[in-house]
Chains A and B, each alone.
Chain A
Amino acid sequence: AQSVSQHNHHVILSEAASLELGCNYSYGGTVNLFWYVQYPGQHLQLLLKYFSGDPLVKGIKGFEAEFIKSKFSFNLRKPSVQWSDTAEYFCAVIGLEGGKLIFGQGTELSVKP
């Protein structure tokens, strides 16, 4: 069965610190991968996606993620976080062979000014 696991439940960083949020998935076929962000009181927004090609993908607001197929991972990174990055981050996966968009448990990021 398709599943997604995010390693960190809550991450607390100071401004300018580097960020890496882990995401691993389980699926036997080809996948499309997504990171979504949910700012406090707002709806889900797409940060970035991977479909094919260069495994290092760049998204909005300085975020990037690297797809490592051999590790079934799609970790989210940002070199220098800002207070405005405080939000909940969700990794999501869809299997191309009739799969569904499945979400990880989410990681709450708190950035201290």
Chain B
Amino acid sequence: SAVISQKPSRDICQRGTSLTIQCQVDSQVTMMFWYRQQPGQSLTLIATANQGSEATYESGFVIDKFPISRPNLTFSTLTVSNMSPEDSSIYLCSVEDPTGFFYGYTFGSGTRLTVV
């Protein structure tokens, strides 16, 4: 199955600053997805990133707060801007993975963000 490398794995940031999370896939994929998992909660889809077009954001998420880049078919970044403690979460990228024994969606190991 596809292998996703996500960086950084964790970070502690000051409020008001921004953090860019990188997601690298070892194969070309059409769509990449960004999720947020708040403490003790399930995963919430932030946006879908297609190569060559603007990301599509879910209700409650806006581009100014979570700008996304998708420069090619194997890479994407999510920026968490002007952070506040409420942004403390695990952020995960995901891809639709048709290559593995289990056709499904593969997830990165996540970025654990703490905003102080």
Contacts and interface: CB of A to CB of B under 8 A. Distances in A.
Contacts of A90: 42-43
Interface in A20-40: 34, 36
Interface residues of A, number: 18
Contact of A34 (B41, B48, B104, B110): B104
Contacts, number: 41
Size bin of chain B's contact surface? 10 to 19
Interface in A67-113: 90, 92, 100-106
Given A103-B42, A105-B41, A43 B104 contact: no
Contact of B107 (A44, A102, A105): A44
B45 A101 contact: yes
A100 B41 CA distance: 18
Interface in B29-64: 33, 41-45, 48, 58
Nearest to A34: B104
Interface of A: 34, 36, 42-44, 46, 48-49, 51, 90, 92, 100-106
